[in-house]
Amino acid sequence: MAGSNPNAKPMNLTLKVWRQKNRNTQGSIVDYQVKDISPDMSFLEMLDVLNEDLLRKGEEPVAFDHDCREGICGSCNLFINGRAHGPESGTTTCQLHMRKFNDGDTITIEPWRAAAFPVNKDLSVDRSAFDRIIQAGGYVSINTGGTPDANEIPIPKQIADRAFEAATCIGCGACVASCKNASAMLFVSAKVSQLALLPQGHVERKTRVENMVAQMDKEGFGACTNIGSCAAECPVGISLENIAILNQEFLLAKATSNNLA
Amino acid sequence: MFPDSKIPEGPLAEKWDKHKFNVKLVNPANKRKYDVIVVGTGLAGASAAASLAELGYNVKAFTFHDSPRRAHSIAAQGGINAAKNYQNDGDSVFRLFYDTIKGGDYRAREANVYRLAQVSVNIIDQCVAQGVPFAREYGGLLANRSFGGAQVSRTFYARGQTGQQLLLGAYSALSRQVAYGKVKLYTRSEMLDVVVVDGQARGIITRNLITGEIEQHAAHAVVLATGGYGNVFYLSTNAMYCNVTAAWRAHKRGAYFANPCFTQIHPTCIPVSGDYQSKLTLMSESLRNDGRVWVPKTVETAERIRKGQLKASDVPEEDRDYFLERKYPAFGNLVPRDVASRNAKQMCDEGRGVGSTGLAVYLDFADIIKRTGAEAVAQKYGNLFDMYAKITDENPYQEPMRIYPAVHYTMGGLWVDYNLQTTIPGLYATGECNFSDHGANRLGASALMQGLADGYFVIPYTIGDYLAQTPPKPVTTDHPAFKQTEAEVRARVQKLMSINGTRTPDDFHKHLGHLMWEYCGMARNAEGLRYAKAEIQKLRKEFWSDLKLTGTENELNQALEKAGRVADFIELGELMVDDALDRNESCGGHFREEFATEEGEAKRDDENYAYVAAWQYVGENQPEILNKEQLVFENVKLTQRSYK
């Protein structure tokens, strides 16, 4: 069965894959050959082929994170040929297709590299630091029930759309992996902006930005030096404008803090 | 005797209010003396965990993902229904109730569905208050769109990423409770069994997926919010990790499994392109608002398209068959999913399918693009069009999409009573993992509604009724049942590791999926089902004698995780076949070829099959016992569903 491109020929590829037994051991690059890869396969389906081969041969498959394979869950996170999620911009690893590569190519596959994202095994890393940043303030503090009718809070469409754009962050960590400082500013700013733009988030806007930035620093992410590689490599197009909004929110908060302690 | 479904007495519209008054309450000071385990952090799980913690209970939340935000609810695209009637187009709680009962082909409980419609309006208020950025009109109020099976516009949405935005809302509420210390979060922890102490659910056994450690966790009650089992078909729109293990383990400990054969085949998915394919991608039902479904009128034209001699956009209007608009003028392209799927299959069976495989029909946007411009279309569906282009390497703004039905959702699941309690006291099931609200077919934009209804607005009330009758004494893992269950879990893991055969977990999974799709998929018949049953039994023996794994159980071992899930899928597959064989009628997603009207529509048998089939596990290699919960319809008249 051919896909959309019946003339495309299967490819043979050399893979250089980071293998690491666990968090406490050293890893290294190991070479593998994969054959008859269809250009219509996704990158992860190509890795499935490798893993089935390894398992049949009695070797350990390569561990990597993935789930929805639709580009929305944010699980997949491969550093391919030196770029987060590979060569195609605006694309998660699972939505990258092998038609972007050529027969005979050598492809290097590494995990995200950041002190705040320790390696679990092979290509799987621990991104729980992101959860802890959200726990520090990435919410509106309301309980279930007792909320006003949804249409009692009119929001200009343009503002709602901007908040939505910021809210589409999938939390994959490509921004951190792409940043020479391993900064998490784009991730943090996306949530800060979403809630700062919306009236629902206004009540806690000062404490939110202060607490989330403090947690970001505590987790060991680097500082932002306005290079912009995070936004350039973000698979869902989270804009640098959000970092500007965060900086503005942060300044405002520090100048007129609600944190009385 | 069938367990009491606990449907409250009285008129339909008053049942839930009355019930909320009649259930027992746990006083605020006592709530902190109770521990509740919530397994799964999708819409149903995260909303339940957050809401229960807000009330004061101590919650332990478990997910096998690295973060709660990865749960598959995140991938839901189109929207969430609510009977707000913001559009002034005649919607009401009763109409949403009616549409859902009818859409489910009269195989759901009236009382549950009515409650769902009632609380739907609260969900939207809740999500907006959390900062969920729903689509809005220029006046600043919320926008709506239409979905299949309804003639009103009641679907709230956030472009094609509604599930993502709702889940991130629930995740934020959950995160807040984690920060407060009211929820303890266990990530990369897979539930492998439920612990039953003196007939009551008192905990779970988990495996830490990073270290392989097997752990015991105790609580006064356990809530399963572990999603559906669509991956029994191998290829589905579900995420790769979606599985039935938690629900199946509960089933084997005494929870009845209801209507397992009710599976939803979604009409608009990107067709299969090759044997390597690992999953299928949905194109949201919302696209049927503006996309028109067609195939060529003749087999000859279809053949030329399949051979690449003719482009879809070059097929003249008079040579196209807009088959849904032709057959169902009242609902047109927005007929319910089961009807749309069966018709697409029928067209392909007639030889009029398109694409190189002939297993696809067109979903065409040329009209709307002409009417409103490509930019307006991109505003509404941009991310879906981009996704389509990435996967297929084709531009849907220029050529129509090729779509084909794929497994998407499972209406069946753990049997629950009106309180969402399973047949194991203290064990609850919410969201897709229960069977409760969608009957034999779920309407679009109703899964998000049900998950959040269960988690935010039902379980917080109903679980209190159980806890109030449970002494507030601390629970521990001291009871021998914990040790015993843990030993069984360990033995099973070790058995998987020690088979040392030749076939990989994926290989078995593909084999099972093929059997299920061919014989228990979009169309079923007794002969095929009996064949499938025998084959699945063979496959199960082979699995336990020829499985190949490497590495050890004391580390991250994704093949081992997969193997455990496939083992449970194989057992579930057999039960699905049994259930499909028992149901000698066609209804909703369950289409038995022997039971069709002359026009090829599903033919129900209300006299003999208006029941919930609740299967009871009685022991290894013994046939399960079928218990029937008779459905009583007092507020709707059972009719042949017509969308003409």
Q: For B442-492, write each residue's pLDDT tens digit.
A: 999 999 999 999 999 999 999 999 999 999 999 999 999 999 999 999 999
| Active site (annotated) includes residue B337 | yes
E-strand stretches of A27-89: 28-37, 79-80, 83-84
The answer to whether position A3 is within a domain reads no
Using a CB–CB cutoff of 8 Å, tell me whether A235 touches chain B: no
Residue B457: which of B157, B184, B100, B115 has the closest Cα? B115
Q: How would you classify the pairing of strands B80-81 and B221-224?
A: unpaired
Q: Does A7 touch chain B (CB under 8 A)?
A: no
- The first and second tokens of residue B370, run together, are 């002409």
Contact criterion met (CB below 8 Å) for B297 and B319: yes
Q: Are A193 and A244 within one domain?
A: yes
Using one digit for the tens of pLDDT, what is the confidence trace for B2-45?
A: 789 999 999 999 999 999 999 999 999 999 999 999 999 999 99
Domain range for A38 = 11-121
Q: B320-321 and B200-208: which strand pairing?
A: unpaired
Q: Is A58 on the interface with B (CB under 8 A)?
A: yes
Higher pLDDT, B643 or A155: A155
Average pLDDT rounded to a whole number, residues B549-555: 97
- Cβ atoms of B370 and B393 closer than 8 Å: no
Global pTM? 0.96
Residues A109 and A199 both lie in one domain = no
Domain count, chain A: 2
User: Final residue of a domain: which of A121, A145, A162?
Assistant: A121
Disruptive mutation site among B55, B168, B178, B282 for chain A (greatest number of A CBs within 10 Å) = B168
Please, which residues have CB within 8 angstroms of residue B498's CB and are 6 or more apart in sequence?
none
Query: Using a CB-CB distance cutoff of 8 angstroms, which residues of chain B are in contact with residue A69?
Result: 239-240, 278-279, 281
In contact, A46 and A101? CB cutoff 8 Å: no
Q: Are residues A185 and A220 in the same domain?
A: yes
In the set B207, B249, B337, B604, the catalytic residue is B337
Of A73, A151, A153, the CB nearest to B74: A73
The predicted structure's pLDDT at residue A261: 53
Do A36 and A95 fall within a single domain? Answer: yes
CATH number at residue A156: 1.10.1060.10
DSSP string, A171-238: ---HHHHH-TT-B-HHHHHHHHHHHHHSGGGGGGHHHHHHHHHHHHHHTT-B---S--HHHHH-TT--
Q: What is the pLDDT of residue B135?
A: 95
| Sequential pLDDT tens for chain A (261 residues) | 334 455 578 999 999 999 999 999 999 999 999 999 999 999 999 999 999 999 999 999 999 999 999 999 999 999 999 999 999 999 999 999 999 999 999 999 999 999 999 999 999 999 999 999 999 999 999 999 999 999 999 999 999 999 999 999 999 999 999 999 999 999 999 999 999 999 999 999 999 999 999 999 999 999 999 999 999 999 999 999 999 999 999 999 999 876 665
CB-neighbour burial class of residue B252 (10 A; exposed 0-12, middle 13-18, buried 19+): middle
- Tell me the shortest Cα–Cα distance from A137 to chain B, in angstroms: 7
Here the tokens at position B380 are: 């509404």
Q: Which two tokens stand for residue B331?
A: 């609902």
Non-local CB neighbours of A255 within 8 Å, separated by 6+ positions: none
Residue pair A67/B72 in contact by the 8 Å Cβ criterion:
yes
- pLDDT value at residue B600: 81
A181 and A107 share one domain: no
pLDDT of residue B1: 64
Tell me which of A70, A123, A172, A215 to substitute to probe the interface with B (most B C-beta atoms closer than 10 Å): A70
Residue A164 has its nearest CB partner, among B158, B172, B559, at B158
Q: Six-digit token pair at B530?
A: 């009996």
**Residue A210 within a domain:** yes
* Same-domain pairing of A176 and A225: yes
- The answer to whether residue A149 is domain-embedded is yes
Domain assignment present for residue A260? The answer is no
Other beta carbons within 10 Å of B370 = 9
Cβ contact B246:B40 at 8 Å: yes
Q: Looking at residue B71, what DSSP letter applies?
A: S
| pLDDT tens-digit series, residues B370-401 | 999 999 999 888 888 998 999 999 999 999 99
**A43-57, B145-159, B406-420: which range is least confident on average?**
B145-159
Residue type at A171 in one-letter notation:
G
Mutating which of B235, B558, B562 best tests the A interface, going by the most A Cβ atoms within 10 A?
Answer: B558
d(CA A242, CA B390): 27
Structure tokens, B566: 């496939």
d(CA B123, CA B129): 10
Angle (deg, nearest 10), helices A185-197 and A128-135 = 30
Flag whether A142 is in a domain. yes
Cα→Cα distances B524→B342, B356, B536, B606, Å: 12, 26, 16, 19
Query: Chain B partners of A90 at a C-beta cutoff of 8 Å?
Result: 386
CA angle B72, B38, B52 (to 5 degrees): 110
Q: Which residue of A has its CA nearest to B401?
A: A4
Position of tokens 């753990």? B414
What mean pLDDT, rounded, does chain B reach?
Answer: 96
Interface test with A, best of B65, B66, B176, B190 (most A CBs within 10 A): B66
Examine the domain organization and report whether A53 and A153 are in the same domain.
Answer: no
- Yes or no, beta carbons of B549 and A142 under 8 Å apart: no
List of chain A residues whose C-beta atoms are within 8 Å of the C-beta of residue B555: 21-22, 121
Least CA distance to B86: which residue of chain A? A151
What is residue B128's three-state secondary structure? helix
Task: Determine the Cα–Cα distance for residues B618 and B625; give it in Å rounded to an integer.
Answer: 7
A47 interaction partners in chain B (CB closer than 8 Å) = none
Task: Determine the Cα angle at B80 with ends B58 and B17, to 5°.
Answer: 60
The CATH code of the domain that includes A85 is: 3.10.20.30
Query: What residues of A are in contact with residue B84 (Cβ under 8 Å)?
Result: 150-151
Q: Which helix H or strand E contains B428, and what residues bound it? A: strand B427-429
Closest of B174, B209, B179 to residue B191, by C-alpha? B209
Give pLDDT, residue B640. Answer: 81
Same domain, A92 and A112: yes
The residue type found at B465 is D
Q: Which amino acid is at A41?
A: M
Tell me, what DSSP letter sits at residue B151?
S
Which residues does chain A have within 8 Å of residue B386's beta carbon, measured at their own beta carbons? Answer: 90
pLDDT exceeds cutoff 80 at B544: yes
- A200–B131 C-beta distance less than 8 A: yes
Q: Are B230 and B241 in contact (CB under 8 A)?
A: no
φ, ψ at A217 (rounded to 5°): -65, -40
In whole angstroms, what is the distance from residue A78 CA to residue A111 CA?
A: 5
Are the C-beta atoms of residues B399 and B194 closer than 8 Å to each other? Answer: no
Dihedral (Cα; B421, B426, B431, B434), 10-degree rounding: -50
In this prediction, residue B247 carries a pLDDT of 98
Paired strand residues for B229? none
Are A176 and A237 part of one and the same domain?
yes
Q: Copy the structure tokens of residue B5.
A: 């479904």
Q: Same domain for A134 and A241? A: yes
Both A73 and A168 in a single domain? no
The one-letter amino acid at B608 = N
Please list, in sequence order, all residues whose beta carbon lies within 8 angstroms of the beta carbon of residue B88, skipping any fewer than 6 positions away. Answer: none
Domain boundary pick from A121, A154, A173? A121
> pLDDT band at B422, cuts 50/70/90?
very high
Please state the rounded mean pLDDT for residues B281-306. Answer: 94
The dihedral through the CA atoms of A18, A21, A22, A27 has a sign that is negative
Between A and B, how many CB-CB pairs are < 8 A?
239
Q: Is the ipTM of this complex over 0.95?
A: yes
Of B126, B131, B172, nearest to A134 by CB-CB distance is: B172
> Which domains are seen in chain B, by residue range?
266-408 (3.90.700.10), 480-608 (1.20.58.100)
Measure the CA–CA gap between B546 and A63, rounded to whole angstroms: 23
Residues A151 and A38 in one domain: no
In a domain, A261, yes or no: no
Q: What's the angle, vertex CA A142, arms to CA A136 and CA A143, rounded to 5?
A: 110
CB B91 within 8 A of CB B220: no
Question: How many Å apart are CA B43 and CA B172, to the nearest integer?
Answer: 11
d(CA A223, CA A64): 28
A226 within domain boundaries: yes
Q: Answer yes or no: is A227 within a domain.
A: yes
Domain boundary, last residue among A121, A144, A171: A121
| Angle, helix B43-55 to helix B459-467, in steps of 10 degrees | 60
- pLDDT at residue A4, rounded to an integer: 46
Characterize the bridge pairing of strands B80-81 and B155-156. antiparallel
Chain A residues inside the 8 Å CB shell of B134: 150, 160
The gap between the terminal CA atoms of chain A, to the nearest Å, is: 67
